[in-house]
Amino acid sequence: MKRVVVLGGGPAGAFTAARLAAAGLDTTVIDEKLAWEKPCGGGLTWKAWSRYPFLIDNDTPRKSVRRTYLTCGSRPSAALDLCEPLLIYSRFDLNRLMLTRAEAAGASVEKTRVTGLDRTSRGWTVRTRTGAFESDYCVIATGARNGLREVGTEWKPGDTLSALGYFIPYDQDHVDLQFFPDFEGYIWLFPRQGHLSAGIAGKGKPASEMKCLLDRYLAEKGISTRGASYYGHVIPSLEKPSWRGNRVSGDGWLAVGDAAGLVDPVTGEGLYYAIRSGDLAADAILNQHGNPAAHYRNAVWSEFMEDLEVGSRLAHRLFRGKFFFAGVTTRMIQFMRRSPTILSVVQDLFAGTQGYLDLRDRLVASRGRVMRELALGGGR
């Protein structure tokens, strides 16, 4: 294998390209926008930056945040303090950091739009607005709005979240997460360098209704959207039946990040999975023995895709389920305020150190302690 073309210059594509170029492969990144902004929070958990230290050892502007407030409806909030900080970049700055690394490693970066992808006897022909590129292998990193239907995840109804939000000139030192009864989604306020990312993501409601929820929430907090930039996006959120057949690889190609649907269905966190899937894709391509497509699929399934499948089942119960005559999110926040054990579990979920496969076992093992804590917690 001599040449690889990476379609998409976001974190997943840029990281894959950096690894392949550093290993000596002729690597080209093709992206219509390159570094661009998104309404999503842009938070990197301890799980991400501890594994890939360049994410913290750099001069790119960012916020380092430890405290998050979780609220459901009009009930009291629960404060969540992380042992290790959440690093919050603007998506423009993070993408630029990743692309700069790829170029420094030797990758070529082309700013143009991909218009087609054709399989040939020798590899691929990638058609763009400005010409064509020949490659031996393709990495699909085109995001959730992948227009190349023959490669990457095959979306089914219900496999995405709608996300919309504002970039607001506003400063705060913590994250806010607001949940609503019977709404599969949440509002977020993420402090970034120079602005606040305020948004909402969810399923089952039209964008106009979600925007009204967000606008009302911001008005109640006294945050003005006058002059703020407004954005919309799509976030993968695969339903449980979609995970087993999730099309992450095929003959001559691998999909990474959002294009492979690799996003946590509960939290909506995708940056760790974008970078990690890019790493595993590079491993599969650089391993000259066997079938890269099978090697990659097995790697992502065993490392995190099976865990995300369990998370997709949990997500529906979390947002729409009932527990002791109230919504699960309502009870979760209430229990966080009264039980250090539950608070610790949620802290680990936010840090990325607690998976979904063994979450049930942890909760069952600690239920006696939790019941005692709830009984002694009083009315807090």
Rounded CA-CA distance 6/21 in Å is 11
> What pLDDT does residue 380 have?
45
φ/ψ bin of 374: left (φ > 0), alpha (ψ from -120 to 50), beta (otherwise): alpha
> What pLDDT does residue 321 have?
82
Would you tell me which CATH number, out of the four given (3.20.10.10, 3.30.9.10, 3.40.50.150, 3.90.550.10), belongs to the domain 160-236?
3.30.9.10
For the chain, the domains span 3-61+87-156+239-313, 160-236, 321-376
> What pLDDT does residue 320 have?
83
Buried b (16+ CB within 10 A) or exposed e, 267-278: bbbbbbbbbbbb
| Tens-digit pLDDT string for the chain (380 aa) | 689 999 999 999 999 999 999 999 999 999 998 877 776 767 899 999 999 999 999 999 999 999 999 999 888 899 999 989 999 998 889 999 999 999 999 999 999 999 999 999 889 999 999 889 999 999 999 988 888 888 999 988 889 999 999 999 888 999 999 999 888 999 999 998 888 999 999 998 899 999 999 999 999 999 999 889 898 888 999 999 999 999 999 999 999 999 999 999 998 899 999 999 999 999 999 987 679 999 999 999 999 999 999 999 999 888 888 887 778 899 999 999 999 999 999 999 988 889 999 999 999 999 999 999 988 874 44
The torsion angles phi and psi of 118, rounded to 5 degrees, stand at -120, 130
> What pLDDT does residue 340 have?
94
Domain 3-61+87-156+239-313 sits in CATH at: 3.50.50.60
Our CA angle for 212, 216, 219, nearest 5°, is 140
Whether the CB-CB separation of 80 and 332 falls below 8 Å is answered with no
Whether the pTM exceeds 0.75: the reply is yes
> What pLDDT does residue 166 have?
93
Rounded CA-CA distance 94/174 in Å is 20
